[in-house]
Amino acid sequence: MNYQKTIETEYSKQVSLERRKKFAQFFTPYSIADLMIKWLLGNENLQTVLEPAFGLGVFSRALLSKKNDVQIKGFEIDNLIFEKAKKEFSGTEKLNLLLEDYMYNDWNNKYDGIICNPPYFKFHDYDNKNILKEIESKLKCKLNGFTNLYTLFLLKSIYQLKPNGRCAYIIPSEFLNSDYGKLVKTHLLKTGTLRHIIVFDFEENVFDDALTTASIILCANDNKTNKVQFTNIQSIKDLDIVENLIENYPIFSETSKIYSFSELNPEIKWKAYYQQQNGHKYKNLVSFSTYAKVVRGIATGANDYFTFNLSKAKKYNIDEKFLLPCVCRSADVQGNFFTKSDFEELKNRDKNVFLINVINTKSENVAKYLIKGEQEKIDRKFLTASRNPWYSLEKRPPSPIWVSVFNRTGLRFVRNEANISNLTTFHCIYPQENIFSDISIDLLFAYLLTDTARQIFEDNSREYGNGLQKFEPNDLNKGKMLDLGKLSTSSKQKIEVLYQKNFNTNNRQFIKEIDNVFMENFG
């Protein structure tokens, strides 16, 4: 067993993290690979096996330790790890390892078993358009332009299953709850091959150095069932739960997390099928977009270039009239209120609190700084290259409320009393103008401060490794909240009085008192 772990461990010591990230090389623990192989071995006719992202062949090692009369084909695109794998498997005659891109090859071949830990890339870090075109033309399906590569691997592999063939993938669970995942889930249901989704609720990441939460997807190209089972496991010690699921297939264990294909809605976040939802505790819920609109903060495409502090402004002789006040880091904002004095303090501490905002280029010093940007090819970066002119900032007026993008302790809402802009470290919240006659911004913000608000929003979050949560703007727009319009006039007044009396004090007991008012009305 130590040998099985050492190959990946030694490689990780010898090869830089930068290179491993370039090729998305996050290795599967042998114990998990061994478990996934058991799903493939459930196909009694297992003769041909495919590893689409071979790496150092942990799945093949696990398979060959149990069954050595199978023909294995592997694909790999990194020549360094390819040569290392060839050396490790030099005595294995029935392995055909190819230095080719799986996504553009092998479409006409079918397999009894396919097993994979595919690469995890952001959509702009690979040949997104051409790969999507390839997938859509072959599978006759439509996919979102932001679809992550790891799900494209999965869809192609399901297409390549023989009758009774089985597929086992370990992938981020992100697609289950993302916008691009809707069309992926639609296609998975259409194939009728999905059988088990096992979500890891580990405190630590399954993959070293990867900020993501993992799931195991088990598929079978058979007619033995039309149901899918969702399972949560809390630690590596719970893998025997998954082993029992595999051994008992197609009989599912007694659980409320079993759904027929027709019961699964690809349009919603599938965490609703495997995690307890907080919104069910309350009545009169509406979409958050009823009362406010959430959009992301300003994306510069090159923060080091666009952000300024006083020292940098002095160095390049940039007049402050060309600088837009802006919060650049979430760590610079403490608590739930950000005031003008907070901004002045950051400014005087020489923190980055400005963006260069080129109103015109008649300023000689500004023109010199723009030339510097072009010399450094800032104008050719992913975002800047799509803007005209490249140095123009996104039109994003200061929002009265900010909300944290990432968190481990629940959403943090901030009242932007300084009336300044923000980078993507926060999302912007703009209250709907047509509600001000009934719902004041104070009432809305008072609600957002409560535990009730944060708990209901959690139903629409995305989970990453180590308990990290992320909210995209639409996660919040489509998330639920209490319908503040249902509050009695006396309750509204009571909440606003509590808020106005206490918001600028150190007393935070008032938030619990506000929460109690909401519970009396909606609990």
DSSP string covering 140-196, please?
T----TT--HHHHHHHHHHHTEEEEEEEEEEEEGGGGGSSTHHHHHHHHHHHT-EEE
The CATH code of the domain that includes 225 is: 3.40.50.150
Q: How far apart are CA 216 and CA 176, in angstroms?
A: 12
Q: Give pLDDT tens digits for 271-319.
A: 999 988 888 888 899 999 999 999 999 999 999 999 999 999 999 999 9
For residue 208, is pLDDT > 60?
A: no
Rounded-to-integer distance, Cα 220 and Cα 192, Å: 8
Higher-pLDDT residue of 99, 177: 99
Confidence of residue 2 (pLDDT cuts 50, 70, 90): very low
Helix (H) / strand (E) element for 407: namely strand 406-407
**Inside any domain, residue 176:** yes
Query: Residue 498 domain-assigned?
Result: yes
40 and 178 both lie in a single domain: yes
Question: Cα–chain-centroid distance for residue 362?
Answer: 43
Q: What is the CATH number of the domain that holds 293?
A: 3.90.220.20
**Is the same domain home to 386 and 436?**
no
Pair 84, 11: CB distance under 8 Å: yes
Last residue of a domain, one of 360, 393, 426: 393
- Is 148:169 a contact under the CB 8 Å cutoff? no
The pLDDT tens digits of the residues spanning 457-478 come to 988 887 765 567 788 999 999 9
Q: What SS3 state is found at 62?
A: helix
Task: Evaluate whether 278 touches 411 at the Cβ level (below 8 Å).
Answer: no
Q: How many distinct structural domains can be found in the chain?
A: 3
Tell whether 118 and 137 lie within a shared domain: yes
- In the listed set 371, 393, 415, which residue is the last one of a domain according to the structure? 393
Within this chain, do residues 384 and 443 fall inside the same structural domain, yes or no? no
Both 417 and 372 in one domain: the answer is no
- The DSSP code sequence of 248-285 is HTTSPPS-S-EEEGGG--TTS-THHHHS--SGGG-SSE
pLDDT score recorded for residue 344? 97
CA–CA distance, 16 with 286 (Å, rounded to integer)? 49
Domain membership of residue 12 (yes or no) is no
Instruction: Report pLDDT for 124.
Output: 56
The percentage of residues in the chain with a pLDDT greater than 90, rounded to a whole number, is 70
| 304 shares its domain with 249 | no
- Per the domain annotation, does 432 fall within a domain? yes
Predicted pLDDT of residue 293: 96
Q: In the prediction, which pLDDT does 254 show?
A: 73
Q: What are phi and psi of 169, to 5 degrees?
A: -125, 140
Question: In sequence order, which ranges of 267-389 are alpha helices (DSSP H)?
Answer: 271-274, 303-306, 310-315, 340-348, 364-375
Do residues 451 and 483 both lie within one domain?
yes
Q: Is 304 helix (H, G, I), strand (E, B) or coil?
A: helix
Mean pLDDT of the chain: 90
What domain range includes position 202? 2-6+26-274
Tokens describing residue 308: 């300024």
State residue 434's pLDDT score: 65
pTM: 0.77
**pLDDT one-digit tens code per residue, 271-282:** 999 988 888 888
